[in-house]
Amino acid sequence: MHMADALISPAVGGTMWAVTAGLIGYCSKKVKNEMDDQKIPLMGVLGAFIFASQMINFTIPITGSSGHLGGGMILAILLGPHIAFLTMASVLTVQALFFADGGLLALGCNIFNLGFFPCFIAYPLIYKTFVKDADTNYMRSNSIDFKKTERKILAGSIIGAIVALQMGAFAVVIETLFSGISELPFTTFLMLMQPIHLAIGVVEGLTTAAVVLFIWKARPEILSSASSSSPIGRTPIFKVVVGLAAAALITGGALSWFASSNPDGLEWAMFKTAGVEELESPDGIHTSLSAIQEKTAFLPDYGFKSGESNELSESSAESVKVELGTSVSGVVGGILTLIFAVAIGFALRQKKSN
Amino acid sequence: MSNLQNNLFDIFYIDTLACRQSWIHSLDPRAKVLTTLIFVGIVVSFDKYEIAMLIPFFIYPAVAIALADLPFVYLAKKMLLLLPFAFFIGIFNPLMDNKTLITFDLKDIVDLMEFIGFKENIGKMGTIDISGGWVSFLSIMIRFCLTVGAALILISTTGFDAVCLALQRFGVPRPFIVQLMFLYRYMFVLIDEASRMVRARSLRTFDNSNQMRFGIFISMVGQLLLRTMDRAQRIHLAMCCRGFEGDIQMLRAINFGVPETLFTAGWTSLFVILRLYNIPVKLGMMIENLLLS
């Protein structure tokens, strides 16, 4: 469920980058303040573990397909939400750079979709309501009912994983919709994504629960220290969510305003930074601005596309049609440009090898 | 399993590419990270029906591949392997959006062909209609190639540690950078360990697949996790012995000098020009006028 650069608009990508950067900053500060430096290698190596565990597959009965351990939930249970979020973010960054899963602009979306929901929603609000500290911590409770705790961990992990994945899948749909690059209708995409991720969520929840139980039986102190070192009760999750929503609204609003009220956010920024206003008389700016607007008028603004804006896209499609009346020249020119670009590359390489 | 092992070989290979010597390799990583981000940002800022204006942007990957002496075939193959995802989302566009967007007048083409030298009668005149969906589908594919290509070029001319260093200088929080570097360093170690475990099991079983029953899977993953945590503790002790105080010091001087400024400013202004002016259409119109006049 990785988002790809090709499918998102700069407004959506930029907004999610801002939100994710804020989250990473918040988590880093949190981690720096309350972490003993022993956790630093642990979180790095556990990120590597997430990769390595994908080597080990099991057969899913009946379907014949294979499954492996998923990411966010198990990290949150073992490390607490803040460290888990940073670890997930690093895993996704490596995936984006080396495996080109998603992309650089979509990285913000991907970290949010796959990191935020398991670490800051599913773990504290769902897993923790099922599994209290006293259920797993030998230091705090004298008698632990194994069967009961087993059931609690199982329920907490499965429901948590399902909720996290459903929210993540929903976020993918919303981000794609707002970007307006893909034509998939909202409901169809939703109907495709949610059931698939329900199944994935059940599998991820089962594997997570089984591994957590294995660890709990083999080395109970790991879970105890994880839950006690991350006092989730004190995490002001509400403040975080409100802050993030505000950040998203502000950046998203600003970016989409650039996209709609100006010919282009980029051109607007160019005008601002190039200081054209100071150099030219007001008339000059006006004419040059409108010249650019004319030039780019056939580009429908890439603001947030909603269901009701069909009319708008239709009319813009009309104007595209008009502009591309000279479409043959567009095709000819495009092919020539491509040949030109590739030729420059070849020429440079030839020159190098000589 | 084979998939991940292939990915691992990919990372090894990309690392060797990053160790090569070239002008682009020797640039300050910050210049390359910045240029790549600007490139990706500008490429995705186009409207969804845009094709012609995207094409000149291939100049960046073409020049970078040539200057850095990267294996084009390898990069293309890697991109093709990743294509299905964008393809499956993008392929819905032609199904959903079937309003006619571009109409080709065959007369134009016939004129052009006649001029080039096809003298025989080509047949009946008419128009070819292309729906908006196909146009946006093609646009998605081009965007995909450009953005994925830029990311691959960045990492194979810069290397992961240098990218981390650049990110740190851009103000990314320290714990996250340390986390990234640890992850990268131990990814290889742990994937080796996991593949040894899987191999040991498959050598002792009559079932020749690498997949296993759920129970065995859990104890294998659990064991790997326990070993991982023990390893983390050993690493921490070893680092403490060497004076670790919660931060990794990187011994690598980087300098954002004249070449870096030229590189970033040059590419950025080219991208901005390509964003503002529809060069392919202008070029095509120029040629058409030349030919038909």
B94-126 pLDDT per residue, tens: 777 777 777 766 666 666 666 666 655 555 566
Distance CA A259, CA A180 (A): 13
Nearest C-alpha neighbor of B62 from the set A331, A348, A353, A352: A348
| Percent above pLDDT 90 for chain A | 2
What b/e string do you get for B132-148 counting C-beta neighbours within 10 Å, with b at 16 or more? bbebbbbbbbbbbbbbb
Going by DSSP bridges, is the β-strand pair B211-212/A57-59 parallel, antiparallel, or unpaired? Answer: parallel
Cβ contacts of A32 on chain B, cutoff 8 Å:
173-175
Q: Per DSSP, what are the bridge partners of residue B127?
A: B105
- CB within 8 Å: B228 and A55: no
Q: What is the pLDDT of residue A1?
A: 61
Cβ contacts of B197 on chain A, cutoff 8 Å:
56
Q: HSE of B25 in the Cβ direction (CA atoms, 13 Å)?
A: 18
Q: What is the pLDDT of residue B236?
A: 81
CA A322 distance to own-chain centroid: 37
Helix (H) or strand (E) holding B152: helix B132-158
Q: What is the pLDDT of residue B161?
A: 85
User: Which amino acid, B133?
Assistant: G
Confidence grade of residue B148 (pLDDT, cut at 50, 70, 90): confident
- CB within 8 Å: A41 and B239: yes
Please state which of the ranges A20-34, A177-191, A232-246, B5-19 shows the lowest mean pLDDT.
Answer: A232-246
Cα–Cα separations (whole angstroms), residue B35 to A337, B41, B219 = 21, 10, 46
- CB within 8 Å: B104 and A328: yes
Q: What is the pLDDT of residue A214?
A: 87
The phi and psi torsions of A222 (rounded to 5 degrees) equal -65, -45
Domain borders along chain A are 5-258, 264-305, 311-354
Domain borders along chain B are 2-94+132-172+257-292, 175-250
The phi and psi torsions of A105 (rounded to 5 degrees) equal -75, -35
CA pseudo-torsion sign B218, B220, B226, B228: negative
Q: What is the pLDDT of residue B39?
A: 93
Planar angle of CA A289, A292, A298, nearest 5 degrees: 135
Per-residue pLDDT at A115 exceeds 60:
yes
Confidence grade of residue A243 (pLDDT, cut at 50, 70, 90): low
Mean pLDDT, range A149-169, rounded to an integer: 89
A210-232 pLDDT per residue, tens: 888 888 888 877 776 665 544 44
Helix (H) or strand (E) holding B42: helix B29-44
ipTM value for the complex: 0.78
Average pLDDT over all residues of chain B: 81
Mean pLDDT, range B261-277, rounded to an integer: 90
Domain with residues A5-258, CATH architecture: Orthogonal Bundle (1.10)
Angle of helix A265-274 versus helix A282-296 axis, rounded to 10: 150
CA pseudo-torsion sign A209, A212, A214, A220: negative
| B280: nearest CB among A214, A300, A333 | A333
SS3 B97: coil
Distance CA A329, CA A172 (A): 38
Cβ contacts of B42 on chain A, cutoff 8 Å:
266
From A238's Cα to the closest Cα of chain B, the distance in A is 23
SS3 B266: helix
SS3 B45: coil
Is residue B179 within 8 Å of residue A44, measured between CB atoms?
yes
Confidence grade of residue A281 (pLDDT, cut at 50, 70, 90): very low
B186-200 pLDDT per residue, tens: 888 888 888 888 888
For an interface test with A, which of B225, B241, B248, B288 has the most A Cβ atoms less than 10 Å from its Cβ? B225
Average pLDDT over all residues of chain A: 71
| A321: nearest CB among B4, B89, B102 | B102
- CB within 8 Å: A55 and B85: no
Interface size A-B, in CB pairs within 8 Å, comes to: 381
- CB within 8 Å: B180 and A94: yes
Residue spans of beta strands (DSSP E) within chain B: 100-105, 127-131, 211-212
Nearest C-alpha neighbor of B33 from the set B41, B22, B21: B41
Tokens of A175: 């981000």
SS3 B241: helix
User: Which amino acid, A10?
Assistant: P
Question: How many Cβ atoms from other residues are within 10 Å of residue A41's Cβ?
Answer: 25
Distance CA A56, CA A318 (A): 53
DSSP collapsed to 3 states, chain A: CCCCHHHCCHHHHHHHHHHHHHHHHHHHHHHHHHCCCCHHHHHHHHHHHHHHHHHCEEECCCCCCEECCCCHHHHHHHHCHHHHHHHHHHHHHHHHHHCCCCCCCCHHHHHHHHHHHHHHHHHHHHHHHHCCHHHHCCCCCCCCCHHHHHHHHHHHHHHHHHHHHHHHHHHHHHHHHHHCCCCCCHHHHHHHHHHHHHHHHHHHHHHHHHHHHHHHHHCHHHHHHHHHHCCHHHCCHHHHHHHHHHHHHHHHHHHHHHHHHCCCHHHHHHHHHHCHHHHCCHHHHHHHHHHHHHHHCCCCCCCCCCHHHHHHHHHHHHHHHHHHHHHHHHHHHHHHHHHHHHHHHHHHHHHHHC
Please state which of the ranges A66-80, A162-176, B190-204 shows the lowest mean pLDDT.
Answer: A66-80
Is residue A41 within 8 Å of residue B238, measured between CB atoms?
no
Question: How many Cβ atoms from other residues are within 10 Å of residue A291's Cβ?
Answer: 11
Distance CA A257, CA A260 (A): 5
User: Which amino acid, A239?
Assistant: K
Q: What is the pLDDT of residue A37?
A: 65
Cβ contacts of A180 on chain B, cutoff 8 Å:
48
B223-248 pLDDT per residue, tens: 998 988 888 888 888 888 888 776 66
For an interface test with A, which of B20, B35, B44 has the most A Cβ atoms less than 10 Å from its Cβ? B44
The alpha-carbon radius of gyration of chain A (Å, integer) is 25
The phi and psi torsions of A96 (rounded to 5 degrees) equal -65, -40
| Percent above pLDDT 90 for chain B | 9
Mean pLDDT, range A92-99, rounded to an integer: 82
Distance CA A236, CA B199 (A): 46
Mean pLDDT, range B139-156, rounded to an integer: 88
Nearest C-alpha neighbor of B86 from the set B42, B35, B44: B44
Distance CA A126, CA A74 (A): 14
| A28: nearest CB among B61, B175, B183 | B175
Distance CA A163, CA A72 (A): 12
User: A261: which residues sit within 8 A by CB, 6+ positions away?
Assistant: none
Q: Per DSSP, what are the bridge partners of residue A115?
A: none
Is residue A207 within 8 Å of residue A69, measured between CB atoms?
yes
Mean pLDDT, range A309-320, rounded to an integer: 42
Please state which of the ranges A255-259, B66-70, B203-207 shows the lowest mean pLDDT.
Answer: A255-259
